[in-house]
Chains A and B, each alone.
Chain A
Amino acid sequence: MKNDQKICLTVNCAPHIHTQESVAKIMWTVFFCLIPAGIVSIYIFGWACLWIMLTAVLSAGFTEYLSCVLQKKKSTLADGSAFLTGLLLAYNLPPHSPLWMVFLGSFVAILFGKVLFGGLGSNIFNPALVGRVFLVVSFPALMTHWPKPFSVDAVTAPTPLAIFKDGFSGTNVLADLSVNSYSYLDLFLGFRGGCIGEVCIIALLSGALYLLVKGYISWHIPVSFIGTVAIFSWIFAGGTFFRGDFIFHLLCGGLILGAFFMATDYVTGPMTKKGKLIFGVGCGLITSVIRLWGGYPEGVSFSILIMNAAAPLIDRFTMPKVFGKLK
């Protein structure tokens, strides 16, 4: 640098280097890790799934964009979080959901689940689950319309968890059906009735494995969540104590999707490792209790939403001990 040469220097606070990570990269990575489960669902339930996913993703994006325009804010579409919410909502819907309902769900998820709280980072509840629960309580019939896998003529069949519940609670409405008609392999591959994104366990696990290896999610919530459900259903879900078919309970319903992709949402979960373990155990307990004795056959969404509300409290009680503090 010569004296006469003008130099233009940036002066700012250290650090002067930064990780390559960004919010958008995180959101899109999770998005792409969910894709395999979506592809399998098209194979199992037909093209309707694709239209539902597209509708959900695009209408979530549309709602996000619209809210930015109305708030006269710079568009936050690029961070990818709205699209991820849309996809997660789609994964939580039955395979033949009408598209107007999908749009409504996405709209509610983004607007009431996120924007009204102040946008990304400020929401208390997982937006996709807010959308789903809104639809479950508003359109109970449509939200429990489960087509049979590989059926062309929209034959419906109850989900394995509904069959289990029927037998467990002694209602015996579906007495001609048995949970034993599903092999573990069927359940593992996703050949059963259920929501679009929840059925194929192997596809979900492969995506989740990538997220774990790359450090986008930590093992704490999934392991404690799934572990709690396993132990709880092993103890209580059988006719007598300690006889429950816990593998069935892990493979059914939205547990894997919820534990790896929804309970691990950064914004609505606790931040410390200890907090995450508590959060996961809480989710597992509530899920199991709803599954066994609640009014719904499946409780993953409700358990995560309830624990979302508890997350600030958990954070408060699991504050790490500051280095060198005696307390």
Chain B
Amino acid sequence: MMLSFCGGKHLSSYKQLTKDKPIKDFPLPKQVVLPLIQHIGAPAEVLVKVGDLVKTGTKIAEAKKLISSPVHSSISGTVSKIVDAPHPVLGKCKSIYIDSDGLDTFDPAIVKRNNYANLSKDELLAIIKSAGIVGLGGAAFPTCVKLNPPCPIDSFIINAVECEPYLNCDFRLMLERTEDILQGILLVKRILNVDNVFIGIEADKPQAIAVMRTAVRKLNLAIDVVSLKTKYPQGAEKQLIKAVLGREVPSGKLPFDAGVVVNNVATILSVYDAVALSKPLYERVITVTGKALKEPANLKVRIGTKFKEIIAYCHVGTKPVSKIIMGGPMMGLAQFTDDLPVIKGTSGILLLAEDEGCEFEQQPCIRCGRCVDVCPMRLLPYALSLCAQKRSFDLARAYNPFDCIECGLCTYVCPANRKIVEQIKLTKIVLK
């Protein structure tokens, strides 16, 4: 029996579109747009003014609150304006525009650190905070906060599952920067002071499992590379913990309540970059994909690069694009424009052609139970959906809407095309 959780479903992965494409550097953009909120928590506060000259990696906005994250310039050039701009998650957000000088001069603070093995836990956390590192899996929670849990923990899991269809950025990083990832893991392990370290990878990525295992053996590390059943949402934090450790995170609680910290593999790599190279988080790897594109790719892009430049770089095919999605197809956000910046939490840009859309007419629930079978939280999604449809939100409370992780699987499997997860999200907003 392969490790997994109950519920879930194996989905068509569409990963072959970019699976074998090595990470390419995206050309330097002429302008970047850097929103002050790219994370969960308080907005960063602006440190620059219009006309200032900045270098690549210069901190341009500082985290003044505990749960917040600073922003760094991702190119060298001039601050041209600080205004509200379209934001892929929030719709609109105050953002710093920087016009490139085309030189990409690095901030003098970015130098290789040779003595990082001797840094203390607090020094490491300070570096991570000041580098603006947030969870790169999508949620974008400030990493320094996550790595400083309020209660003792015993296990650390690296989330390298990447269960969203289409996305390959984590997979490519594991193949191309294997040892750096392991160094990053060792750093975080030191911060957390735990013995049990696991890397969770889905079984449909045997290449990644093999390279990670080989590297672990070569460096003689006590890290367990765990092969997990290929099933969505295996990469959801709670489901991953259940699969690897057999523990259920208590309802309404966070992973550290179960004694675990989970970090995405790309986040770990950015920790390594921040500590060993003193490089703040100003670029990331994203998967740009979809059958609507002629040349889907895995790209290393500067944060703040516009979607439309990236899409143009990958060449739209002949079919008209009907959807631009930030993230994967199951939980990603459909965008209303392509004039948006890549932010820290952007794991991919997915373009769907017209014939791939799934706008169907909602039919009555036939109680087939497919949603109940697949729900990874063991909820009754159909019941929540019916309550929301009848606007009986109080009734919905009995069906635990707040335990829903919004993975979207119930909506995916529903033969009556019911917008179940949308209705649950609505229920949560109404009941809050």
Binding site for B on A (CB under 8 A): 1-3, 7-19, 21-23, 25-26, 79, 119-122, 266-267, 269, 271-273, 319-326
Contact = CB atoms under 8 A, between A and B. Distances in A.
Interface in B355-372: 356-360, 363-370, 372
B346 to A, nearest CB: 15
Interface string B309-322: 00110001000111
Given A13-B425, A18-B360, A324-B250, 18 more contacts: A1-B316, A1-B321, A9-B323, A9-B336, A13-B422, A15-B330, A17-B356, A18-B411, A21-B370, A22-B415, A26-B366, A120-B363, A271-B367, A271-B368, A320-B372, A320-B380, A323-B251, A325-B403
Among A19, A21, A321, the most chain B Cβ lie within 10 Å of the Cβ of A19
Nearest to B369: A271
Contact of A266 (B356, B366, B400, B412): B366
A266 B330 contact: no
A131 B162 CA distance: 51
Contacts of B77: none
A19 B373 CA distance: 15
21 contacts: A9-B336, A10-B322, A10-B357, A13-B419, A13-B422, A14-B332, A15-B408, A15-B412, A16-B334, A16-B352, A23-B415, A23-B416, A121-B366, A271-B372, A271-B382, A319-B380, A320-B380, A324-B238, A324-B403, A325-B403, A326-B251
Contact of B338 (A7, A14, A266): A7
A36 to B, nearest CB: 24
A96 to B, nearest CB: 34
B333 interface: yes
A242 to B, nearest CB: 36
Interface residues of B, number: 69
B412 A18 contact: yes
A9 B329 CA distance: 15
B78 interface: no
B165 interface: yes
A267 B422 contact: no
Contacts of A15: 329-331, 358, 408-409, 411-412, 421
A25 B360 CA distance: 14
A325 B399 CA distance: 12
B249 A324 contact: yes
A10 to B, nearest CB: 5
Chain A to chain B: the 8 pairs with minimum beta-carbon distance, closest first: A15-B408, A121-B364, A271-B369, A18-B358, A13-B422, A324-B251, A266-B368, A320-B378
Chain A interface secondary structure, helix, strand, loop or mixed? loop
A9 B357 CA distance: 11
B367 A267 contact: yes
Chain B interface secondary structure, helix, strand, loop or mixed? loop
A9 B324 contact: yes
A120 B367 CA distance: 10
Nearest to A18: B358
Contact of A11 (B253, B336, B425): B336
Contacts of A272: 369, 372
Contacts of B104: none
Nearest to A121: B364
Contacts of B422: 12-13
A271 B379 CA distance: 12
B337 interface: yes
B417 interface: yes
B321 A7 contact: yes
B377 interface: yes
Contacts of B379: 320, 322
A8 B422 CA distance: 22
B335 interface: yes
Contacts of B338: 1, 7
A322 B251 contact: yes
Contact of A1 (B311, B333, B377): B311
Nearest to A24: B415
B325 interface: yes
Contacts of B92: none
Among B331, B356, B364, the most chain A Cβ lie within 10 Å of the Cβ of B364
B368 A26 contact: yes
Given A11-B334, A14-B333, A320-B372, A19 B380 contact: no
A7 B340 CA distance: 14
Given A120-B364, A271-B380, A324-B251, A10 B359 contact: yes
A17 B358 contact: yes
Given A9-B336, A9-B337, A122 B364 contact: yes
Nearest to B9: A19
Contacts of B417: 18, 22
B245 interface: no
Contact of A323 (B248, B322, B333, B416): B248
Given A16-B334, A18-B360, A271-B382, A325 B372 contact: no
B413 interface: yes
Interface in B268-314: 308, 311-312
B341 interface: no
A119 B358 contact: no
Interface in B2-40: 11
Interface in B400-432: 400, 403, 406, 408-409, 411-417, 419, 421-422, 425
